[in-house]
Structure 1
Amino acid sequence: MARQKSKHPTRSSARQAKAPPIEVDASAQPPLGMPPARFLRDYWQKKPLLIRNAFPGFESPIQPEDLAGLACEEGTLSRIVAHDRARDAWLLRHGPFDEGMFPDMPHHDWTLLVQDVDKWDSDIAALLDAFDFLPRWRIDDVMVSFAAPGGSVGAHVDQYDVFLLQALGHRRWQIDAGDNPSTEFRNDVELKLLREFHPTHEWLLRPGDMLYLPPGVPHHGVAEDACLTFSVGMRAPSAAELLGDFVDTLAADADDGLRFRDPDLAPASDPALIDDDAMRRAIEALNMLRMNDPDRLGDWFGRFITLYRNAGEVMAAPAAESGRSRIEIEWDLQHGAALVRHPYSRMAWRKAGRGAKLYVNGQDHDLPVRDAKSVANAKGIDGATYAALSEAGRDRVHELLQAGHYSLAIEGEEEE
């Protein structure tokens, strides 16, 4: 006799059918309010999520005046966006700025944005530890924005994932989580602002709250009072950028002897025709470049992603300023010193054959797996970490120190 199916869904199927919420409280499980695996499964590049108390009791490590001071420094990437509500006109200015201008700024409707603040402030950089469930090479920077009351950068859309952490004050966010949001831009402003914006959700964020947005979700944030917002943005190269760099790499390394060949050529039935055989030979010529070689592809990507969108360069110190010899440096490391990684030094690694490749700002280095993993993940190298490296690993670290990727920090002394 056939078993009759239940008219009611099972508990597991009901759970699967229930859509994940768009708002959670993370007080008991910061910063996501759930295990990272669940967040990546249900939200990452799929749907927005408002996370209340992502950082419970959060206190901003910097103040608005600190950000204004940073925006005046040479080498920082900073912008001011101001909005004239009466004319719906937007003004964009690029820094660095003169510090004397800030006391004369209006009391409302403007925003200061500074990129790569994590490269300048170690307390901001430390926030990235909370995002270690993501590959570190995937994270671009922490942008910090100060907004006067009413300050905004307009309704816009990003093509990368972003976590918007409210650090000080309050900001009202609206998003369009609809299936087919309008993404046409206005043609009357310098900024890429949306021509139409139809919000489906609205929240007021207070310090410690965080909004996650996948790529392509229109959003608009307006300061309720003077506030700071930290934007943790991802690196998301376009397919065109990936293809362009890969092809350039293949072309630069290609043997000039690899050419289109047709030793099996038959008499042409039509001298102007590009036939199927010609296309097959063209594909064969391209395949000689080994575009689908996993190791070659992996090496290219490792170099590309550790160089992509680097805001600053790592420069070697002049020989006269290099200071200690290698023997002296190793003695220092044995007695409490440490090598601190340069904030613009990007590292990643991958397995390659029986060993590994360490990628540092577009350069690749052969190392044992344990060494590559240790160096790539370490913000700094102390004596114990250095001693645990193989001879090849210690040689590589010394070379990176000479190239400027590390500075020697000795307790009680300034870094060299």
Structure 2
Amino acid sequence: MGLEDSEALTFLRDAISPLGQSDAMISKFYTCWFAIDGSVRDMFPPDMAEQRAMFARALDWALGEFIAQRAEEPIAFLAQLGRDHRKYGVTHSHYESLAQALYATLTANLDDQWTDAVDEAAHQLINLVTGVMSGAADAEDGPGWWEGTVVEHQRVSRDLAVIRLYLDQPLPYHPGQYVNVEVPQVPRRWRYMSPAIPTQADGAIEFHVRAVYGGMVSNAIVSETRPGDRWRMSGAHGGLEVDRDGEDVLMVAGSTGLAPLRSIIMDMTRFGVNPRVHLFYGARYPCELYDLRTLWDLASTNPWLSVTPVSEYSSDPPWAADYPDVQPPRGLHVRQKGLLPEIITRYGSWGDRQILVSGGPPMVRAVRAALISKGAPVQRIQHDPLEL
């Protein structure tokens, strides 16, 4: 029965489930893979804990979908994964050695319970995963990755930086999408970032980055990036968008979550008529509303855009004096004090709007829950995946 045998698939899912004791098995899989094909090891960071967890979660989810006989989403996911993995330089031989290592690891560790039905399901699952990924990669005509040179690194606050680059060739993406980025300070540790401007014919691109406590990549970007650094990035993902023929829009941005919404707003300025957009832009301190001047300029010349700045604290800390003054001229925006979910829901449910929320996962979850509790339909709320 293979992929139609829910019992065999459930057995395989239980063996690799991140909720169980799967880390040891996933670790053995990578050890086996690296032993079979030594060239693979250089594609991964020295610390494999995060990679093992991501692999286990992906397999667990895909198996759950196959058990429920829902193949469309996991196949689309695997195809996108195959296209995206071209940035690592993955070849057919790597997929072949992956299949060999995964099958060998499963049979060695589940030997006592390995039946003919499980064997057939495992073979079909592994062949499907590697076949879809390699086939999608082969069908893609564009480059596997894009490279660019940092031309400006601006420290706009204690833990915030704006980085501008010129790519060797333009990277096609829709405003609101995100790309996977590798920086020279931390090789082989890719992180998702959203361009803060629409795609440019000259290859210009801009990212806004906040240093996360304990985050190796974000701290390196904020503290160590210099003009001349060479960055590499993948093709675009994500689907944040505004239907210009649809209802008015509510946007909610927390800190550098502003970047994709800013890109969408900038793209909308190309048109004479747009739905009304109200943006709530939040940070801890007033000085961390780092792009308020740009938003002031955009709103002053585009009457369909209004902006409400929100800060958790009413005054700035002493260290704010070391960084540029971000406050725009008086008269256009009145800053409010409080938490974004509380401020936004004071105005109602916003249930008649297109709703786009962008920021850290805790902030997105809190805003989403607050809006839903006020009556906003779930299907109207857009945000990027909370685990990437």
Q: Which has the larger radius of gyration?
A: 1
Q: What is the TM-score with the length of structure 1 in the denominator?
A: 0.24
Query: Which has more helix, going by share of residues?
Result: 2
